[in-house]
Structure 1
């Protein structure tokens, strides 16, 4: 019997210029909800979403937009696990001329503030970016105390953390926190390659090295930005991991034209089958992650 593989649909992401580069990107709550419903029909068991300002197309962390978007998805009755991003509101921008004080563009909030939408809406999964990294001149801040607090708050609400590791050091931090029990008895870790955030490159050597450091008993997945995601998905399925695909990770097709979530997810399903797996159902995904069955 083929192994069930969790396919996560990352339908829009938080890249600031993504809506300008690809008109197929879901921006409004209605468009995001429709993209999630489409993803479920195509075989995705998990929907990883961000919200965006419908007027500007820019990424947002507005709780009103989160409530509207999640409300539409739930009202439609779509059987899919929700994975809400909590990567916003962690940026620190420094004014060099003024003595490295916080400058315009800083969104840094405490852990509870970054994750208030996750705590209020209690999806099955919420993300934790497991490490500090540079975004151009900005810094995404994730101190050990921040990570422990987010994990604790998620645990109190019954939300499973998806621990996103963009580099080897992030994975070592995740290992330490997992050993402390911060992520429960069945951690869920995501290897993120070639994202342009100064992390690990999308190479077979990097994937193999990070895969080797995944703690035993951990549910793990891997993805890469752009076309590299095809071989990463094959390797992940073959190695016992899970996969994700969508416009967050690839805005263009091989010809350089704007692609769609449907095209990326259809390709991902084909890749999963070709690598010897099959897309997990939402019920199977819940069981794999150790989450309660859908009520």
Structure 2
């Protein structure tokens, strides 16, 4: 029997200009809920969700939007695990000419504030961006103690951390958290390649080097930005990992036209089956991640 492979649908992401670049991007709570239900019907076992301001399409961390979005998703009755992003509110923008004073665009908040919407919603999974790194003109701040606190908050709430590793050093931080017992008996790691954030490139050498540092017993997945995600998905399945696909990672098709979540997920399912796997059902994903059975 072919191996069940978890397909995560990353339906909208947090890129600030994504809604302007692709009109198919789910923005409103109703659109996001519909996209999650569609992803479940297409074979995704996990939905990775950000929220956006319905007025301008830009990423948001508004607790009211999060609450409405999660409520709408659950009201669809879609059989899918929720993975909520906690990547917002961790950015520093510095004014070089003013002695590196904070600029108003900075969003950095304590970990308790960054994760408040995740803890309130109690999804199956919440993200952790593992490490401090450059994001264009900004700095994403995730000190080791920030990550420790985030892991503890998730564990107390019964939420599985998805530890997103954008570079080799992030995996070493993840290994330390695993060794300290902060990520549980079944850690869940995501290898993130070619994102343009100054991390690891989307090359086979980078994928294999990061794969070799996955902690023993961990569940892992990998993705790359844009069309590089196609070969990364194939390699991940072949290596025993899991995959994700959606408009967060790929806004345009091979012709340079705006693509859709449906097209990307359909392609991902074909890649999984072509590489010898099959899309895991949500109940199987729960078993793989060692999550409680759905009540």
Tell me whether the two structures share a fold, i.e. TM-score over 0.5: yes
1:49-88 → structure 2 map (5 Å cutoff)? 49-88=49-88
The 5 A counterparts of 1:108-127 are 108-127=108-127
Residues of 2 paired with 1:212 and 1:28: CA distance?
A: 40
Whether 2:32 is the aligned partner of 1:32: answer yes
5+ long unaligned stretches in structure 2: none
Describe the SS at the equivalent of 1:176.
helix
1:135 Cα deviation from its structure 2 partner: 1.2
Look up the SS of the partner of 2:93 in the other structure: strand
Q: Which residue is 2:234 aligned to?
A: 234
RMSD (Å), alpha carbons? 0.5
1:98 Cα shift? 1.5
Partner deviation per Cα, 1:18-67 (whole Å, 9 max, x = no partner):
00000000000000000000000000000000000000100000000000
Aligned position for 2:15 = 15
Q: Number of aligned residue pairs: give it.
A: 295
Kindly state the Cα deviation for residue 274 of structure 1 after the two structures are TM-superposed.
0.1
Asked whether 1:220 is paired with 2:220, we answer yes
Provide the C-alpha distance between the structure 2 equivalents of 1:54 and 1:206, rounded to a whole number of angstroms: 37
In the alignment, which residue of structure 1 is the partner of 2:169? 169
Structure 1 residue 136, shift from structure 2 partner: 1.8
Instruction: Measure how far apart 1:268 and its partner are.
Output: 0.1
Question: When the two structures are superposed, what TM-score results if normalisation uses the length of structure 2?
Answer: 0.99
Counterpart of 1:190? 190
1:223 partner SS = strand
User: C-alpha distance in 1, partners of 2:20/2:76?
Assistant: 28
Runs of 4+ in 1 over 2 A off after TM superposition: none
> Quick check: 1:179 aligned with 2:209?
no
Please list every run of 5 or more consecutive structure 1 residues that lacks an aligned counterpart in the other structure.
Answer: none
Tell me the TM-score normalised to structure 1 length.
0.99
Supply the distance in 2 between the matched residues of 1:254 and 1:174 (Cα, whole angstroms): 34
What secondary structure is seen at the aligned counterpart in 2 of 1:237?
helix
Shift of 1:95: 1.3
SS of 1:20's equivalent in the other structure is helix
